[in-house]
Amino acid sequence: MNAAWEAVSRVVDEPAWYWVYDKLGFWPSTYAHAWPGFREPAPSRTWDLSPGDLDRASAEFRLGPYAVEEHQVAAIALAAFREVCGPDDWLWALHWQHQSYRVRPHLMTEGARWPVPAFPRADYHLFLASDFSFGTLGHPWERTLCVFGEKLVPAFERHGEGVLTNVLRRDGKPSALAR
Percent of the chain clearing pLDDT 90 (strictly above):
50
pLDDT mean over 29-41: 78
Average pLDDT over residues 142-171: 94
Which H, E and C letters describe the chain, residue by residue? CCCCEEEECHHHHHHHHHHHHHHCCCCCCCCHHHCCCCCCCCCEEEEECCCCCCCCCCHHHHCCCCCCCHHHHHHHHHHHHHHHCCCCCCEEEEECCCCEEEECHHHCCCCCCCCCCCCCCCCCEEEEECCCCCEEEEECCCCEEEEECCCHHHHHHHHCCCCCCCEEEECCEECCCCC
> In the chain, what are the domain boundaries?
5-28+41-50+64-142+150-164
Average confidence (pLDDT) over 66-80: 89
Instruction: Answer whether residue 129 shows pLDDT above 50.
Output: yes
pLDDT, tens only, 87-124: 999 999 998 778 899 999 999 988 888 999 998 888 88
> How sure is the predictor about 59, in pLDDT bands with cuts at 50, 70 and 90?
very low
pLDDT value of residue 52: 61
